[in-house]
Amino acid sequence: MKHGFLIYFFLSSFIATAQERFSISGAIKDLNNGETLLGATVYLEGTTYGTVTNEYGFFSLTAPKGNYTLIVSYVGYETITQQVVLDKDQTLHFELNEASTALNEVVIVAQESEVTSIREPQMSVAKLNAQTIKEMPAVLGEVDVIKSIQMLPGVTNNGEGSAGFHVRGGAADQNLVLLDEAIIYNTSHFFGFFSVFNADAIKNIKLYKGDIPAKYGGRVSSVLDVRQKDGNSKKFSLSGGIGLISSRLAAESPLFNEKGSFLVAGRASYAHLFMPAIENLKDDKISFYDLNLKTNYQLNQNNRLYLSGYFGRDVFNLSKVIKNNYGNATGNLRWNHVFNDRLFSNLSLIYSKYDYRIILDFVELDWIADIKNYNVKYDLGYYVNNNLKVDLGVSGIYYNLNPGEVKPTSETSGINYLKLDEKRAFEGALYISAEHQLTDKLALNYGLRYSNFSRLGGQNLATYVDNKPVVYNNQLEIYERGDVESETHYGKGETIKNYGYLEPRIGLSYQMNESSSIKASYTRSTQYLHLLSNTSSVTPLDVWTPSGEYIKPQISDQFAIGYYKQLKDNAYTLELETYYKQIDNRIDYIDGSSLIGNNNIETEILNGEARAYGVEVLIRKNRGTFTGWLAYTLSKSEQRTLGGNAGGPGINGGSWYNTPYDRTHDISLTGVYKLNEKWSLSSNFIFQTGRPVTYPNGQYEYEGLSIASYGDRNSNRLPAYHRLDVSAIYKPNKHPERRWKSEWVFGIYNVYNRQNAASISFGQNESTGLNEATQISIFGIIPSVTYNFKF
Amino acid sequence: MKKITILLIGLVSVLFSCEEVIDVELQDGPVRLVIEASLDWEKGTVGNDQIIKLRTSTPYFDTQTDTSVTGASVEVINLDTNEVFVFQDQNNGNYTTDAFVPILNNTYQLTVIYNGEVYQGTETLLLAPDINTINQSIEDGFDDENLEVNVYFDDPEDEENYYLLKYYEEGDLLSSLEDVSDEFVNGNEIHDFYEKEDDEDSGEEAFVPGDVVEITLYAISERYYNYIKILNEQTDSGDPFSTTPVQIRGNCVNQTNQNNYAFGYFRVTQYVKEVYTFE
């Protein structure tokens, strides 16, 4: 019956095309730098025929034969109006000029035109462009993509100085983070203080918190799709900045007679240059850098090649004791091919790697671990007619994980050489999805993704007594590691374990009137890779592990409904969403688990489940000298880990407990006020319920020490987190005719110097022997100044 | 890994952080019996004199309560020889014997009867290795300006071994515990070190020549290693890089009412002890 409906939808749209119809297709770019514009609107005035450009700036629009006024618009740009006679299929390219305000700095948050944003069935998506991100106040003046998305409803972090972000109560490893389609395994520099995305190289970001399109898969919580700029294809330009922590430089230029262009952007911290001068820090080195590259070449009207890459590195040496470096490297070669004005394709070959190395001098140990993947992807976009767009594609990812190789650093080292088993896996996926305008008011998004995961051989696999890697000790009431019964060798050609899942994705929107709509969606997604971390903060040392015999894939089902309203001719928008998410096979760790250097991770974990639900409200002011938004989230996120095969009640006595990412209330307020041509002011305010933690509920003396006893897991909370940031941007702009443009950004982070608790630790004072609670807070009030230029 | 954690926190605090002692309201959990039954036998001695301490737990910040438990019955049986050792109530929470007979690789069982409930635990006595060398250095360790003491001992290759090292500087209030397993160093000479640093907040002072430090090396069971490892991880827990704290469960099981479990541990170990004076 379900299939019957689908067939009906398809047929009905084909029947509707029976009258004579023609298509207009083409690409939309920025007139000044040739950057393709994503999400620009193209529609025929006075009709409901309209569309938006895809991620390559491509559009295709089909309408009945006739004379029309075509309107091309994009926020922050001048609108193009053109008469078209639609009597044949035609290709039209457009180049939009930036809106005439002197410096294009009025931030207008809503990117899509009135018609599409509430009409599109896509929901639970948040978009920010690089300009918006740059205008938000940032800690130490370092513009940060990850921190800026945390201002959106449903997105939080785990406190200052913690890596990653959490979407709708999900864990950091449940976010698929893509930089030009390549997976980024660690999004942070400096252990989470800054993110790996250099805002100078970023065109825009899209965060899917739910209703994830069928073309994405592999993570159960969200997709953060970050796109790099293509590079200026009109003229050479140079931009950069000098901040307190890092400096940046980006060069862009046309290539081969404007048939191509490139972007090279670099960013490096330079605090370490001063460290030798400080007595306490003279042997230390803490630094990071990253490099972004993108280039493209238009072979002809219908074929274009893109090459993009990223390389980032963190180095952190603490005297001679510890030497540590880690980073991501990615590369992507893409071929865009336009078959005709309705059929568009993209082939991508993607490589991505994350590795870390740590040398511990005091134990003479050298540790290396990495994760690599090779990905081939082919996507087709078919604009069947104006009411139906079909996407389909196929993807294959080969993973190679090296969880750790330990080497002694000297002859005298007590360390034995150890190499943990390398792990291999293949993740294949097929998808088809359709965006379907059923009636004037009702639109549907429906898709199906099939994913298949094979854990490949080339390693030994332990089998356990009674098939129990973890055993519950009934007497002592603790979980203990199971005993290995035997080891089976799997050859490289063999498959250890195979999983396959169908992942339906359905979304619906109903336009109630000109200015409001309701939407609903259901998404099922599967995650085969898991980040092992039993600490409250993700660290660079955490190890990714694939699903297999003992670790099952995580499966999530998310339901969401939303209400969208435009007020005062779209000067204000209101978005209201509520969601419920259920995740199966979320792992948690037995008490005293030891994850590092462990070849048999399955002896440390239990399979559990998680659920999260909440309400999100977003009110935005989109136009005028004052723009900004207020986001409020009321939510709950909890998990439960039963004993299962291992026996016993499970973790926390088998009861539900808060995940570390549970925040009851989360309020974010962000605003930009454009004072005049030279000055604009911006501000952030954040209030969040404190992070769930476990506090002692008693103490006893043992070995002459005071030992804390603990109650239920995550049943206490840190004090609420709140802070206010302000910044001012000053553009001297004395000579508007000159190419050289500059700006100063003055910022104050945490204006009222709130000492937000990053953690509260409990211990005994060494001199008094008394128990005390010590709060660590990381950023107090921090002023900053940054100078940016553009040439 | 605790050492790496310390370093990570060190890094963060070098950068920006601010530490302050604060008041926190805590809930009080149930009061439980605490059994500190550490039958430790110094290698080369007879090991007859042993103490078992019984106390109760208290609220976390409580300093007033007299926690000593009197009126309990305490005895240990050697399950290999069936010899029974009865511990005498000293009416101050201590229960003592001067007749204990330690035998390597024998298994002992503790029975405590308190308030009509029976608590039992078992443990096997393992051979402790000798300490090969003890020396001092400045350059090694975490800080290349602070003195540390280095301890070297041989790990047998044929089995998994677990050790507890206790460092205690004369005059200090608290000692420092280190859990060591041979996981990465099986069959090798194991090196461990102890270094202190100047810290105004905690009152800790780095070693100076003339300081005397007592070093005790215990051979312990795998289960006790798991226990002491969690205990070590959790002393001073709660920083952003630490694991979620959990209730530490020992091996003394309440046979009468399993829910009313006891804290502490029944361990039987052999140990070697050296005293080192910094030069």
Q: What is the pLDDT of residue A279?
A: 62
Any A CB within 8 A of B66 CB: no
CB contact at 8 A, A519 and A119 = no
Q: How many angstroms away from the CA of A140 is the closest CA of chain B?
A: 11
Which position has the token pair 């042993």? Answer: B50
Q: What is the mean pLDDT of residues B118-123?
A: 94
Structure tokens at A214: 């069928």
- Name the DSSP class of A16: H
Q: What is the pLDDT of residue A280?
A: 62
Rounded Cα distance, A566 and A624, in Å = 15
* Percent of chain B scoring above 70 in pLDDT: 91
Any A CB within 8 A of B36 CB: yes
- Name the DSSP class of A154: T
- CB contacts of B258 in chain A (<8 Å) are 477
| Chain B residues 159-178 with CB within 8 Å of chain A | 166, 172-175, 177
Rounded Cα distance, A70 and A63, in Å = 11
Any A CB within 8 A of B146 CB: no
Report the DSSP beta bridge partners of residue A346: A336, A379
Q: How many angstroms away from the CA of B53 is the closest CA of chain A?
A: 9
Structure tokens at B154: 């041989």
- CB contacts of A477 in chain B (<8 Å) are 249, 258, 261
Q: What is the pLDDT of residue B241?
A: 64
- Locate the chain A residue with the closest alpha carbon to B16: A778
Any B CB within 8 A of A779 CB: yes
Rounded Cα distance, B122 and A476, in Å = 11
Any A CB within 8 A of B248 CB: yes
Nearest Cα neighbor of B74 from B58, B85, B64 is B85
Sequence-distant (6+) residues with CB within 8 A of B45 are none
> Could you give the 3-state DSSP secondary structure of residue B185?
coil
Nearest Cα neighbor of A428 from A448, A458, A398, A401 is A398
The ranges assigned to domains in chain B are 33-126+247-270, 128-244+271-277
Cβ distance A477 to B264 less than 8 Å, yes or no, reads: no
- What are the pLDDT digits (tens) for A528-578? 999 888 776 666 677 889 999 899 999 999 999 999 988 887 788 899 999
Structure tokens at A189: 């520099």
**How distant is the alpha carbon of residue A207 from its chain centre?**
6
Q: What is the pLDDT of residue A625?
A: 84
Structure tokens at B138: 């400045």
The DSSP element (H or E) to which A131 belongs, if any, is helix A130-135
Cβ distance A704 to B175 less than 8 Å, yes or no, reads: yes
The string of DSSP letters for A230-294 reads: ---SSS-EEEEEE-SSEEEEEEEEEETTTTEEEEEEEEEE-HHHHGGGSGGGTT-EEEEEEEEEE
| Burial of A151: CB neighbours in 10 Å, binned 0-12, 13-18, 19+ | buried
- What are the pLDDT digits (tens) for B184-200? 788 888 888 888 888 77
- Locate the chain A residue with the closest alpha carbon to B236: A763
Backbone angles phi, psi at A335, to 5 degrees: -125, 110
Q: Which of A280, A774, A781, A784 to mutate to test the interface with B (most CBs of B within 10 A)?
A: A774
Cβ neighbour number for residue A339 with a 10 Å cutoff: 11
Q: What is the pLDDT of residue A558?
A: 95
- CB contacts of A159 in chain B (<8 Å) are 240
Cβ neighbour number for residue A502 with a 10 Å cutoff: 10
- What are the pLDDT digits (tens) for B12-29? 545 556 788 889 999 999
Q: What is the pLDDT of residue A132?
A: 76
Rounded Cα distance, B39 and A273, in Å = 55
Any B CB within 8 A of A535 CB: yes
Q: What is the pLDDT of residue A10?
A: 44
Sequence-distant (6+) residues with CB within 8 A of A73 are A40, A41, A79, A80, A96, A113
Nearest Cα neighbor of B267 from B36, B34, B32 is B36
- What are the pLDDT digits (tens) for B159-218? 889 999 999 999 888 888 888 888 878 888 888 888 888 877 667 788 999 999 999 999
Q: How many angstroms away from the CA of A233 is the closest CA of chain B?
A: 41
Q: How many angstroms away from the CA of A632 is the closest CA of chain B?
A: 26
Any B CB within 8 A of A780 CB: yes
Which position has the token pair 């309701």? Answer: A518
Nearest Cα neighbor of A225 from A103, A122, A79 is A122
Q: Which of A478, A701, A774 has its CB closest to that of B55?
A: A701
- CB contacts of B187 in chain A (<8 Å) are 416
Backbone angles phi, psi at B228, to 5 degrees: -70, -25
| Chain B residues 193-212 with CB within 8 Å of chain A | 193, 199, 202-204
pLDDT higher than threshold 60 for residue B6: no
CB contact at 8 A, A121 and A518 = no
Rounded Cα distance, A220 and A558, in Å = 9
CB contact at 8 A, A538 and A162 = yes
- Locate the chain B residue with the closest alpha carbon to A719: B24
Task: Examine domains B33-126+247-270 and B128-244+271-277 and report if their fold is the same.
Answer: yes
Cβ distance A700 to B261 less than 8 Å, yes or no, reads: no
- CB contacts of A319 in chain B (<8 Å) are 142-144
Any B CB within 8 A of A360 CB: yes
Q: Are strands B33-42 and B263-277 parallel, antiparallel or unpaired?
A: parallel
Any A CB within 8 A of B63 CB: yes
Q: Low-confidence residues of chain A, pLDDT below 50? A: 1-18, 100-116
**CATH T-level topology, domain A125-790:** Maltoporin; Chain A (2.40.170)
Query: 3-state secondary structure string, A184-204?
Result: CCCCEEHHHCEECCCHHHEEE
Any B CB within 8 A of A275 CB: no
The string of DSSP letters for B35-72 reads: EEEEEEEETTS----EEEEEEE-B-TT------B--S-
> Could you give the 3-state DSSP secondary structure of residue B234?
helix
Structure tokens at B104: 């390597």
Any B CB within 8 A of A504 CB: no
The DSSP element (H or E) to which B19 belongs, if any, is strand B18-22
Alpha carbon separation from A520 to A53, A169, A576, A683 (Å, rounded): 23, 19, 11, 33
Size of interface A-B (CB pairs under 8 A): 264
Q: Which of B24, B67, B241 has its CB closest to that of A537?
A: B241
| Range A2-100: architecture per CATH | Sandwich (2.60)
pLDDT higher than threshold 70 for residue B8: no
Cβ distance A416 to B32 less than 8 Å, yes or no, reads: no
Sequence-distant (6+) residues with CB within 8 A of B252 are B35, B37, B110, B112, B119, B120, B121, B261, B262, B264, B265, B266
Any A CB within 8 A of B274 CB: no
Cβ distance B248 to A709 less than 8 Å, yes or no, reads: yes
- CB contacts of A778 in chain B (<8 Å) are 12, 16-18
CB contact at 8 A, A199 and A227 = no
| Burial of A441: CB neighbours in 10 Å, binned 0-12, 13-18, 19+ | middle
Cβ neighbour number for residue B202 with a 10 Å cutoff: 17
The span from the first CA to the last CA of chain A, in angstroms, equals: 61
Cβ neighbour number for residue A789 with a 10 Å cutoff: 14
- Name the DSSP class of A415: P
Q: What is the pLDDT of residue B132?
A: 93
Any B CB within 8 A of A764 CB: yes
Any A CB within 8 A of B120 CB: no
Cβ distance A703 to B175 less than 8 Å, yes or no, reads: yes
CB contact at 8 A, A700 and B263 = yes
- CB contacts of A660 in chain B (<8 Å) are 244
Backbone angles phi, psi at A192, to 5 degrees: 105, -5
Any B CB within 8 A of A208 CB: no
Which position has the token pair 């205690």? Answer: B168
Nearest Cα neighbor of A417 from A408, A426, A409 is A408
Q: Which of A142, A703, A749 to mutate to test the interface with B (most CBs of B within 10 A)?
A: A703
**How distant is the alpha carbon of residue A734 from its chain centre?**
39
Class of domain B33-126+247-270: mainly beta
Rounded Cα distance, A558 and A547, in Å = 21
**CATH T-level topology, domain B128-244+271-277:** Immunoglobulin-like (2.60.40)
Task: Examine domains A2-100 and A125-790 and report if their fold is the same.
Answer: no
- Locate the chain A residue with the closest alpha carbon to B247: A710
Mean pLDDT across chain B, nearest whole number? 87
Rounded Cα distance, A551 and A545, in Å = 9
The span from the first CA to the last CA of chain B, in angstroms, equals: 30
- What are the pLDDT digits (tens) for B218-263? 999 999 998 998 888 887 655 556 778 888 899 999 999 988 999 9
Backbone angles phi, psi at A144, to 5 degrees: -140, 115
Q: Which of B3, B187, B246 has its CB closest to that of A710?
A: B246
The string of DSSP letters for A678-723 reads: SEEEEEEEEEEPPPEE--EEEEEEETTEEEEEE-STT-EEPPPEEE
- CB contacts of A538 in chain B (<8 Å) are none
Any A CB within 8 A of B247 CB: yes
- Locate the chain B residue with the closest alpha carbon to A691: B240
Q: What is the largest CA-CA distance in chain A?
A: 91
Q: What is the pLDDT of residue A170?
A: 92
Q: Which of A318, A365, A702 to mutate to test the interface with B (most CBs of B within 10 A)?
A: A702
The ranges assigned to domains in chain A are 2-100, 125-790
Q: Which of A318, A770, A773 has its CB closest to that of B24?
A: A773
Cβ distance B13 to A710 less than 8 Å, yes or no, reads: no
The DSSP element (H or E) to which B178 belongs, if any, is strand B176-181
Cβ neighbour number for residue A329 with a 10 Å cutoff: 19
